[in-house]
Structure 1
Amino acid sequence: MTYNKEAHAKDKAPAEIELKLALPWADHRLISAQVSEIPPLNGIVSEQQHLRNIYFDTPEQYLRQQRAALRLRSVRQGKKRTHWRQTFKTAGSGASGLSQRGEWESTVSRGELDPNALEGTPWHAIEGHEQLFTQLTPCFETISTRTLWQVSAGDDGLIEVALDVGSVQAGGRTLPICELELELVHGPVDSLFVLAGQIAAHVAVLPTETSKAERGWRLLDDSSATALRARPPDLDPHLPAERAAQTVLGEMLSQFTENLARFVQFDDAELVHQARVGWRRWNSGLWLFKPLLKDIPVPDTTGLAPLRRALGRLRDLDVAALETLPPWKEPFISGNADREAQWHSLEKTLTAERQVLRSALCEILSTPETGAALLGIGRWLHALPQYETKSEDIGPWAEKRTGRLHTRLKNEIKVTKEAKDRGDEDALEQEHRTRLLAKRSRYCLEAMQSLLPNARTRRWIEKATEVQTQIGAARDLMLITFMLEPLGADRAILGFLRGVAAARMA
């Protein structure tokens, strides 16, 4: 069975354009009243619904593989009779909470899937869809109370604000749901960001693109805590360069924001790591596209400074505790009971300090300023196409740009080697600059890989990764000693680690 996108291209999909905001710190009992007091929702009469959503797929999860979803929803409002809706959704695009998807919804007479309600949807483009329908079974469900507001946006805009409080249930597991969905009924898309910014000024939010369907699948797979890794997009080489920049930067920003949203719920060091990778990739993307964006005001990220510092401190300790120090435990102890006690004390100290830093990071994420800053970046990203000029296609541009970056890295590697051979005082600083350039070059090459010659690009990525790793391992070991000293680490351990680091750097 295959989904033929070309065969269905002539069908105009009803577009669902929404901005999703997670509310992970909200008191579920009070959040509806709190949101209703936020301008411009204040004074608008709301309505409340009780929703039950049942998601269907084949045992092989075929629809999920096609990035589609089929849902039955029961809606009950007050004492009114429950009615059912069937919805078919297809994947779209989005970044930093904003998503645009195809959505086809029909009223059905009872709580059973109706094949007739799928007429006129992309369902008919699926090969063998008649047989596929008979294989569908319930996979998971969500239950929530939804509060709705209809908010005017500008002269002719209208936004439906939906607050969902409840849970997703799958495979005997349950996760809470507390989020706002701002759906554009009509008007400019930017009005979603304007309203979201007004909400974020009063309530701590996190932009997220993860749908309830995807949350259910991850819960069913027991992968809810799995970190989101880089997923460089496949780019059309004829795409205007500015639009390609929006696509690439959007994926990078999503890696950052989605891992932050998951970190709030799950204590996993990999989430911190991938969030930092996402942010570094975002900065590398801005660096990559700098020639295109030179006349465009850059997004204001000053509001994220406390978050970035907290992420950095926690990640440094995570690396120390989980990666750098463990291989040196036995060589340091070497059968000595006193040294074993010293190392055990260090491990306890690191565990406690990591928990302190995790709590500090959660506190920063729970401030309205953080959510507002993330929304500001998303708004800037959404507006990028308005600056589009008659620039060249992204394919030729990417080849020239990455070629220059690789040449620059080769020159930096040569300069670093010469500085170390001469014993220059600034050799270590030069080495650090080379490491940063290698990391940025790697991220840029990976982002553009679908447009570049395969064999050559793989070699360049491998070289950048090798330089980054070789320089980083020795430097990380030396930096750890500066982190451990204020924590009261034993002098014998510090001396041992400094000796190892000096030897490796030499």
Structure 2
Amino acid sequence: MLARIPATAAQELELKFQLGVGALEALQGEAFPVDQAKVSQLHAVYFDTASLALRDGAFSLRVRRKGSSYIQTLKHRASGGIFDRDEWETQVPGPDLDLTALTDTPAQAAVGGAPLAPVFSVEVERRVHLWVRGDVRIEVSFDTGLIVAGDRQEPVAEMELELLSGPPQALFDLARELLGKAPLTLAFESKAERGYRLVGHDGVAALKAQNTAISPTITGGEAFQRIARDALVQIAGNARLLQRAHNPDVLHQMRVGLRRLRAALSVFRGMLDPEGLNAARSETRWLAGELADARDFDVFLQRAATPDEIDESAGRTAFFRALRIAQADAYEHALAAVRSDRFRALLLMLGEWVEVGGWQRLANDRERALREGPVTALAAPVMDRLDRRLRRRSHKFREIDVEARHDLRKLAKKLRYAAAFFGGAFPEHPKRRARFIAALRTLQDHLGELNDMAVARTIAMRAVGRRSGELAFAAGLEVGRLTHDEDVVIDAASDAFKAYRKVRPFWSLPGDRKKDLNLSRPRLQSA
């Protein structure tokens, strides 16, 4: 008779790392000798409906062969967790699914009776070691092999640390120790997620931001973790893809993930420990700076007129050649950062801080209230403060210089991210929320276009350098084409500010907090 694990979710605590060049040899030499490993060959087939309903519900379902036995496993990642997943396991007699094992699991509703069929497979050799220190027991696994979807395949070279006993902090302590011995990069994409990307023929497509689920009932601490986790997934996933192809959209989405994380640091700073917050701000600022030039060159070239739109001259040809050379150099600079020890340490530091950082142990009454109280108590005052600042400062939009305009754009972007983060926490006025976010999006589009114009001048100068003559003349002409309608865009941005000031916020402050914080809204004025 086959043993069956009860249909209740067990929680898996693990960290996954991509193995860099030489990492496997370095770690399996002294730390984890090959001759002391438990070696097995694993073949797993992943199943889904024709419409990939399980993937869309954040599930993965596989049957794995290990030796002569078969294990069916259903996993679920509901909120972008870094190292926790719900898991249901069942021993089965062969490679086929046991559909009865899905009964009373969340996947049953996702499938809805649709037939399940194989979609891709994973074949790896696994070497397993048991790491023991005091009461801490961690399973250390090295997986090497292939993910196969039809005629497409992708290599696997991973290390996983799974906590068997002891506190979650122990996972990060061991990870940091191993990071000092070998190039390891914290990874969040599972083999299943990578397999689905191959199935969709989008193996190098950019990873976009997920809609983080923030409900009125979760705490401020839970909200911060969910938002930060999703941002880290976006940053790390696109960093891996950037090393496979110089894809402007991948670079852009990596920067979006960084901006979302930096916005979260600002929004939640009232409940975060200063040491961890300062380290996170410093390292993410460094990374954003390393990626900035490559993105600026991408934007310039994307906005520039194509040869069939304008007469090509020798000077213009030379200018664009210089631009592409500078763009390639900027990408190499960005890639050097992504491949660096500093980036690997940054990901591990952020992952550790988000999951088990000192902010969770702050005993101050205010910090604890923000962390443990409902997220709405934190979100409403933060958004109200940002909203008031943006409304107040926008009245002088036409009078401010480029630098002040850039600061105003960053403020609008921070409010837009906050509104996106917390939209689900204030479900009472969905139409008002939609109008508010739409007004911010339009405003941000115009401010972004003005910023692109300002950056275009800097980028052109950087590509030309000290050269003059026909090359510099061509650069001036191109910048002129890109910025000729600046006054029109300024008018559009001013109108967008007027429209924004007419929309009502979708959140509400507790009555006692409104008086204490002096958050009365200023009288609306015309621009």
| TM-score interval, smaller chain | 0.7 to 0.9
Q: CA deviation at 1:315?
A: 1.0
2:205 corresponds to = 226
Residue 107 of structure 1: how far off its partner (Å): 3.1
What percent identity do the matched residue pairs reach?
Answer: 24
Note the C-alpha offset of 1:483. 2.3
CA distance in 2, matches of 1:120, 1:246: 31
Question: Of 67, 73, 84, which residue of structure 1 is paired with 2:70?
Answer: 84
Q: What's the secondary structure of 2:440's corresponding residue? A: helix
Structure 1 residue identity aligned to 2:43: R
- Per-residue CA deviations over 1:30-59 (Å, capped at 9, x if unaligned) read x433212465x4699222221111111222
Q: CA deviation at 1:363?
A: 3.0
Partner of 2:355 in structure 1? 382
Distance apart, 1:503 and its partner CA: 4.7
What is the CA–CA distance in structure 2 between the aligned matches of 1:192 and 1:305, rounded to whole Å? 27
Residues 451 and 127 (structure 1 numbering): CA distance in 2 closer, same or farther, change over 3 Å? Answer: closer
Distance 1:330 1:65, change over 3 A: closer
Distance 1:354 1:167, change over 3 A: farther
Query: Cα 1:104–1:470, aligned 2, differ >3 Å: closer, same or farther?
Result: closer
Deviates more, 1:372-381 or 1:482-491: 482-491
Matched, 1:14 2:10: yes
Q: SS where residue 265 of structure 1 aligns?
A: coil
Say if 2:66 is the partner of 1:61.
no
Deviation at 1:210, TM superposition (A): 0.9
Q: Per the alignment, do residues 204 and 259 of structure 1 end up closer, same or farther by CA in structure 2, a change over 3 Å counting?
A: same
The superposition leaves residues 412-456 of structure 1 with CA deviations (integer Å, 9 ceiling, x where unpaired) of 22233234xxxxxxx232222212222222222222222344325
Q: Deviations over 1:179-229 (max 9, x none)?
A: 111111121111111111112222222222111111111101111222122
Return 102-111 or 260-269, whichever deviates more.
Answer: 102-111
Unaligned ranges ≥5, structure 2: 1-5, 488-527
Q: 1:296 to 1:394 in 2, by over 3 A?
A: farther
Structure 1: where are the runs of 5+ without partners?
1-9, 77-81, 420-426
Q: Secondary structure at the match of 1:448?
A: helix
- Cα gap change, 1:351 to 1:230, in 2 (>3 Å): same
Task: Tell me the distance in 1 between the aligned counterparts of 2:183 and 2:176.
Answer: 11
1:260, distance to aligned residue in structure 2 (A): 0.9
**1:439/1:468 contact within 8 Å kept:** no
Give the stretch that moved more between structures: 368-377 or 382-391: 382-391
Say which SS state the counterpart of residue 56 (structure 1) adopts: strand
> C-alpha separation between the residues in 1 aligned to 2:234 and 2:347?
13
Specify whether residues 502 and 364 from structure 1 end up closer, same or farther in structure 2 by C-alpha distance, changes over 3 A only: closer
Contact 1:204 1:366 in 2 (8 A): no
> Using the alignment, how far apart are the partners of 1:299 and 1:54 within structure 2?
44
- 1:47-446 maps to which residues of 2 (within 5 A)? 47-76=38-67, 82-95=68-81, 98-115=82-99, 118=101, 122=105, 125-126=108-109, 132=114, 135-153=115-133, 155-293=134-272, 297-298=276-277, 300-301=279-280, 302=282, 307-321=287-301, 323-326=302-305, 333=310, 335=311, 339-383=312-356, 384-387=359-362, 389-391=368-370, 392-419=373-400, 427-446=401-420
1:463 shift after superposition: 5.2
Q: Cα deviations across residues 254-280 of structure 1 (Å, max 9, x unaligned)?
A: 222221122222331101011111111
Cα distance in 2 for partners of 1:74, 1:487 equals: 64
Q: 1:128 to 1:200 in 2, by over 3 A?
A: closer
Residues of 2 paired with 1:158 and 1:360: CA distance?
A: 40
Alpha-carbon deviation of 1:15? Answer: 1.1
How far the C-alpha of 1:120 sits from its partner, in A, is 7.3
User: 1:353 and 1:461, CA in 2 relative to 1: closer, same or farther beyond 3 A?
Assistant: same
Q: Compare 233-242 and 402-411 and name the one that shifted more.
A: 233-242
Change (3 A) 1:174 1:119: closer
- For residue 499 of structure 2, what is the aligned residue in structure 1? none
Match of 2:474 in 1: 493
With normalisation by structure 1, the TM-score equals: 0.83
Q: 1:90 to 1:462 in 2, by over 3 A?
A: closer
Aligned twin of 2:460: 481
Q: CA deviation at 1:21?
A: 1.0
Q: Aligned equivalents of 1:291 and 1:200: distance in 2? A: 31
| Contact kept in structure 2, 1:243 and 1:385, CA below 8 Å | no
Q: Which range moves more in the overlay, 49-58 or 347-356?
A: 347-356
Structure 1 306/441 Cα, relative in aligned 2: closer, same or farther at 3 Å?
A: closer
Partner of residue 21, structure 2: 26
CA contact (8 A) 2:402 2:454 kept: no
Is the CA contact 2:18–2:184 (under 8 Å) kept in the aligned structure 1? Answer: yes
CA contact (8 A) 2:14 2:161 kept: yes
3-state secondary structure, aligned to 2:368: coil
Q: How much does 1:303 deviate?
A: 5.2
Query: Counterpart of 1:277 in 2: which secondary structure?
Result: helix
Q: 1:297 to 1:142 in 2, by over 3 A?
A: closer
Instruction: Answer yes or no: is the 8 Å Cα contact 1:445–1:461 preserved in 2.
Output: no
Give yes or no for contact 2:59–2:75 (8 Å, CA) kept in 1: yes
TM-score, reference length from structure 2? 0.80
- 8 A contact 2:7–2:88 mirrored in 1: no
The CA deviation at 1:178 is 1.1
Distance in 1 (alpha carbons) for counterparts of 2:155 and 2:339:
17
Count the aligned residue pairs: 466
Aligned mates of 1:497, 1:461 — CA distance in 2: 30
